[in-house]
Amino acid sequence: MTHHALLALAVILTLAACDEKPSPILEPEDAAPDAAGNSAPTTYTESRNAAVARSLPLSDPQDLEDARRGLIASDPALRVTNADGEVIWDMTSYRFIEGAAPGSVNPSLWRQEGLQNIHGLFEVTKGVYQLRGFDLSNMTLIEGETGWIVVDPLTAEETARAAIAFARKHLGARAVSAVIFTHSHVDHFGGVLGVVSAEEAKVRNLPVIAPERFMEEATSENIVAGIAMGRRSTYMYGSRLPRGERGHVGSGLGKEPAYGAFGILQPTATITKTPTEMTIDGVKLVFQNAPGSEAPAELAFYLPERKAFCGADVLAHSMHNLYTLRGTQVRDALKWSGYIDEMLTLFGDAEVYFGGHQWPIWGNARIVDFLAKQRDLYRYIHDQTLRLALHGYTPKEIAGQMELPESLLSSFFNRGYYGTLEHNAKAVYQRYFGWYDGNPANLDPLPPAEAGERYVALAGGAASLLDRARAAYERGEYRWVAELVNHLVFADPDNQDARELLARAYDQLGYQAESAPWRDVYLTGAFELRHGGPDEGINLASAMDMIKHAPIERFLDAMAVRLNGPKAEGKEMTVNLVFTDLDTSYVLDLSNSVLHHDRRDPDPDANATLHITHALFLRMLVGQAGLRETLFSDDLTVEGSRLDLLGFFRLFDRLDGTFDIVTP
């Protein structure tokens, strides 16, 4: 689902700023591929990365001091398993990140991921604690009069349970007195059932605070498009990559998502306006509603008695994404910048900042500087993208020439460890102008495989194209190699020489990337060129405790986008869907190869009426119950024609989320 868990473009921002032009040389003769087949960094890549190291104050101790400050306890053997004994979280796999950066990792990213290796239980300020490094996100504990106010209980039930147990071991056994969900991304709520059960929350009438529209956004975000997002997220988060110097080193925002069991709790109160003051378990909080910033539903809050401010994911020690590579709707940079400006007005006297990821910041002057520069970061990207677009520049041209001013770029927290200037500028363009850049040649281009065949022919055949690409590789022109050889791979995906050369180019682009998602995208592309795609897609059943709260309409929308239009051509059918445990019915109408759904009483002239429980319907949709076995079982009732009903369901594509990306 995401999700989040949970996610391939060009050489990153800082490399474009390097003046040094080292001599391009291939890999040393004694540099063998690693166990996964990843090629060694070329001397060109090593020189480029060395130039980055010389251009940045990587030894500045401030972030290191902040990341270590307040450490109460750490677990050097931190590993979390699920009910089947499978490891879903393993901080020990990142022990290799120490010392100077190897030639295969951008040294700026290496520094960032070294900081994110610092994990454990931390005291942020009096009565506020954080658990960092138990998941992609942080869990924050605020000491109330009777128990813990839990803020953002991680991605998975298993990691959240381990984190709260670790806190109780060192801080004492306290109950959960309230839960705050800062926003609608799964890494900030999916583990809630690991800190408190749904039954306990109901019996105790536990306060659960969330931003407006949280439940709808949290449960619906990826249902319609989730299969594709899930597949793409394996690229963005490098989930198939080995952990190591030539593989995954982290996500830039944290280490990686935990792929365990996801759940959710229904909010008991929602934040709809700014400011909203509330006292929870004796603790005064002031909330800011920030919808449409980093998430469709998001809030930040302030603890005035402690002068401690939680910026949720609106702020981070990295440039964030205006568009995520796993695929999302574009975010509003102007609105995002405006919310940060509002934070300065509302909470500008804060002495402590903490967020949903990474480490806190202490001291009012430093916090104000942080907020002001992140505010101006998103406003600059927005304004300068539009300025260049108004001059007629296209997205690729804008991304290729835009640079941040030194006053913004010099702060490590504005660098592109997660989002990047290049793809964020394209996102701003997309938000205003869409996918079309105005050039008629790009209005109806040839599909990749057909274009590939013609480019290969134009180059004089596969052998000639490869010769030219190898020469470009020797010159260190990896972006051009990728563009050129990609045509050959799509024209002839069985050409092993082409696949390997393209994979080697992706290796080098990944090694040079300051952005962790770009690194993972490139290296996953190389991995799949060498080893093929995955055998299994995302397991939606692991999110059953979450998706059961999604509106039924979203699942019917998901059915509609899976309808195979050509197979449905000429067919007209009506099916009643009656949920026996919800006292709710829907009428599904198929005509013109389009499926419509309407919540109303059953149609007496329908081809069939399916009486089914909500739980069984969801089990069918996530693949836990087979279609034929379910329709002909005693677990539901069918009125009308079972054959018509079976024929109706056969019109829908079965999707497993294993489609190819780097090959046709």
pLDDT tens profile 111-165: 999 999 999 999 999 999 999 999 999 999 999 999 999 999 999 999 999 999 9
- Residue 204 is predicted with a pLDDT of 97
Burial zone of 35 (CB within 10 Å; 0-12 exposed, 13-18 middle, 19+ buried): exposed
What phi and psi, each to the nearest 5 degrees, are found at residue 287? -100, 145
Q: In this structure, which amino acid lies at residue 337?
A: S
Asked whether the predicted pLDDT for residue 241 surpasses 60, the reply is yes
Q: Check: CB of residue 616 under 8 Å from CB of residue 629.
A: no
Long-range contacts of 658-662 (CB under 8 A, 24+ apart): 658/231, 658/533, 658/534, 658/535, 658/536, 658/537, 659/228, 659/231, 659/533, 660/528, 660/533, 661/231, 661/232, 661/235, 661/525, 661/528, 661/533, 662/489, 662/502, 662/525, 662/528, 662/529
- Residue 1 is predicted with a pLDDT of 38
pLDDT tens, position by position, 157-205: 999 999 999 999 999 999 999 999 999 999 999 999 999 999 999 999 9
For 211, the 3-state DSSP assignment is: strand
Strands (E), 355-408: 361-362
Residue 31 binned pLDDT confidence (cut-offs 50, 70, 90): low
- What does the alpha-carbon distance between residue 111 and residue 318 come to, in Å, rounded to a whole number? 12
For 65, the 3-state DSSP assignment is: helix
Residues 6+ apart with CB under 8 A from 444: none
Asked whether the predicted pLDDT for residue 430 surpasses 70, the reply is yes
Asked whether the predicted pLDDT for residue 10 surpasses 80, the reply is no
H-helix or E-strand spanning residue 468: helix 462-474
CA 478, 484, 488, 489 torsion: positive or negative?
positive
- What does the alpha-carbon distance between residue 637 and residue 617 come to, in Å, rounded to a whole number? 12
**Lowest-pLDDT choice from 33-37, 319-323, 389-393, 658-662:** 33-37
- What does the alpha-carbon distance between residue 355 and residue 141 come to, in Å, rounded to a whole number? 12
- What does the alpha-carbon distance between residue 28 and residue 473 come to, in Å, rounded to a whole number? 14
- For tokens 């050889």, the residue is 485
pLDDT tens, position by position, 224-238: 888 899 999 999 999
CB count in 10 Å sphere of residue 337: 21
Residue 27 binned pLDDT confidence (cut-offs 50, 70, 90): low
What phi and psi, each to the nearest 5 degrees, are found at residue 130? -130, 145
Asked whether the predicted pLDDT for residue 624 surpasses 90, the reply is no
- What does the alpha-carbon distance between residue 367 and residue 311 come to, in Å, rounded to a whole number? 11
What is the overall mean pLDDT for the chain? Answer: 93
Residues 6+ apart with CB under 8 A from 99: none
Burial zone of 192 (CB within 10 Å; 0-12 exposed, 13-18 middle, 19+ buried): buried
Residue 15 binned pLDDT confidence (cut-offs 50, 70, 90): very low
pLDDT tens, position by position, 383-402: 999 999 999 999 999 999 99
- Residue 367 is predicted with a pLDDT of 98
- Residue 543 is predicted with a pLDDT of 78
**Lowest-pLDDT choice from 1-10, 270-279, 553-562:** 1-10
- What does the alpha-carbon distance between residue 165 and residue 172 come to, in Å, rounded to a whole number? 10
- What domains lie within the chain, and their CATH numbers? 49-354 (3.60.15.30), 551-649 (3.30.1050.10)
Structure tokens at 174: 């306290």
Q: Check: CB of residue 105 under 8 Å from CB of residue 507.
A: no
Across the range 571-579, mean pLDDT stands at 97
- Residue 187 is predicted with a pLDDT of 96
- Angle formed at CA 580 by CA 579 and CA 581, multiple of 5 degrees: 95
- Residue 9 is predicted with a pLDDT of 26
- What does the alpha-carbon distance between residue 550 and residue 106 come to, in Å, rounded to a whole number? 41
Peptide bond into 211 cis (omega under 30): no
Count of residues for the chain?
664
Residue 409 binned pLDDT confidence (cut-offs 50, 70, 90): very high
- What does the alpha-carbon distance between residue 338 and residue 317 come to, in Å, rounded to a whole number? 19
**Residue 35 DSSP class:** T
Provide the β-strand partners of residue 576: 587, 609
Provide the β-strand partners of residue 579: 584, 612
Residues 6+ apart with CB under 8 A from 523: 38, 238, 241, 246, 247, 248, 506, 507, 510
**Lowest-pLDDT choice from 219-228, 398-407, 515-524:** 219-228
Q: How far is CA 209 from CA 192, 267, 454, in A?
A: 13, 6, 57
Residue 277 binned pLDDT confidence (cut-offs 50, 70, 90): very high
Q: Check: CB of residue 31 under 8 Å from CB of residue 50.
A: no
- What does the alpha-carbon distance between residue 542 and residue 545 come to, in Å, rounded to a whole number? 8
CA 57, 59, 60, 66 torsion: positive or negative?
positive
Residue 654 binned pLDDT confidence (cut-offs 50, 70, 90): confident
- What does the alpha-carbon distance between residue 159 and residue 163 come to, in Å, rounded to a whole number? 6
Asked whether the predicted pLDDT for residue 11 surpasses 50, the reply is no
- Residue 6 is predicted with a pLDDT of 35
Provide the β-strand partners of residue 563: 652
Query: In 3D, which of 399, 418, 421 has the Cα closest to residue 409?
Result: 421
- Residue 24 is predicted with a pLDDT of 41
Across the range 548-559, mean pLDDT stands at 91
pTM value is 0.93
What angle do the packed helices 478-491 and 496-512 form, to 10 degrees? 150
Residues 6+ apart with CB under 8 A from 134: 78, 80, 89, 119, 154, 159, 160, 162, 163, 166
Structure tokens at 115: 């900081």
Asked whether the predicted pLDDT for residue 36 surpasses 80, the reply is no
Q: Check: CB of residue 282 under 8 Å from CB of residue 177.
A: no
**Lowest-pLDDT choice from 223-227, 237-241, 458-462:** 223-227
- Residue 18 is predicted with a pLDDT of 31
Across the range 611-625, mean pLDDT stands at 85
pLDDT tens, position by position, 324-350: 999 989 999 999 999 999 999 999 999
